[in-house]
Amino acid sequence: MLRQPKVIRNDLSIYDQVDPWWDEASPILDPLRRLAQPRMAYLSRFVDPVGQRLLDVGCGGGFLSTLAAQSGAFVTGIDSAPGAIQAAHDQAIRDSLDVDYRVGAAEVLPFEDEVFDLVVCTDVLVHVDDPKVVLTEMLRVLKPGGRLFFSCINKSFLARFVMITLAENLLRMVPRGTHDWKKFIKPKDLKKWLRQNGAKIDHKTGIGPIGWQRGIKFGQQPFTSVMYQGIATKIFRLEPGLDPSL
């Protein structure tokens, strides 16, 4: 009997390819493009992006960065995948948008303290080694009173079934191994980490499929048991050397 090859979890190689990012026929990346529109609509309910200096952490191919720039924000996008940054840069040229795209790590953001009005982070925290480090960095570069928009996957058995068993193993909408259930994050844990770094959640809601319109249509959902998104405000600055766990 042949043994099945072991699935490598949290395999992000698909995101380092250039061509599929803006290909509407891509069964893997096009749903992310479709997710960007309701995310931007939700964000705009709380923040007017016009004139805001916005940082998109883990920007990928630039789906949310593009919408933010088109809405009048001054956008900087950063991602660890060079292929994704190339795809984002190419799309910005096609759209005649001035977006500052950079290759870099979310754990060590190459920016001074408190320089951004708005930081967005979608589908990133469940893929990094230490989400608390990334949150600390994002809040470091965010101005006091600035807003953080986040989108995450809940650490629930339903999320494991939907995102891994269904999306990866059965429907093959996502390459096997893209997600690691151990890295999913409960909303209460994210709330605690934000509070430890001087921020509070103002609003949270679910997001997911709500219908079909020449592909999966995404929007807000009343439950957060699979995917959720929210807005947080930076209340105070964490002083250097202070242990955020205290």
Alpha carbon distance 66, 23 (integer Å): 15
Q: 84: which residues sit within 8 A by CB, 6+ positions away? A: 15, 16, 18, 21, 59, 60, 61, 62
| Residue 240: predicted pLDDT | 52
Which residue reads 């960095």 in tokens? 137
pLDDT at 61 over 80: yes
DSSP state at residue 90: H
CATH number of the domain encompassing residue 54: 3.40.50.150
Q: How far, in Å, CA of 169 to CA of 177, rounded?
A: 9
Domain-located, residue 8: no
Assigned domain for 129 exists = yes
Lowest mean pLDDT among 31-40, 163-172, 237-246: 237-246
Residue 243 belongs to some domain of the structure: no
pLDDT for the residue 202: 97
Whether residue 110 contacts residue 102, with contact meaning beta carbons closer than 8 Å, is answered with yes
End-to-end CA distance of the chain: 53
On whether residue 241 sits in a domain, the answer given is: no
Q: Report pLDDT for 216.
A: 76
Distance CA 59, CA 77 (A): 5
Q: How many domains does the chain divide into?
A: 1
The one-character DSSP state at 238 is P
Contact 218, 35 (CB under 8 A): yes
What is the pLDDT averaged over residues 8-29? 64
Query: Is 7 inside a domain boundary?
Result: no
Write down the pTM of the prediction: 0.88
Burial zone of 27 (CB within 10 Å; 0-12 exposed, 13-18 middle, 19+ buried):
middle
Burial of 245 by CB count in 10 Å (0-12 exposed, 13-18 middle, 19+ buried)? exposed
Rounded-to-integer distance, Cα 66 and Cα 60, Å: 11
User: β-strand 199-212 against 227-234: which pairing, if any?
Assistant: antiparallel
β-pairing, 142-153 vs 227-234, is antiparallel
Q: Do the Cβ atoms of 57 and 138 come closer than 8 Å? A: yes
239 assigned to some structural domain: no
Q: Is residue 18 part of a domain?
A: yes
Q: What is the pLDDT of residue 210?
A: 81
Instruction: List the domain range (segments joined by +) for residue 201.
Output: 13-234
Q: Is 6 a member of any domain?
A: no
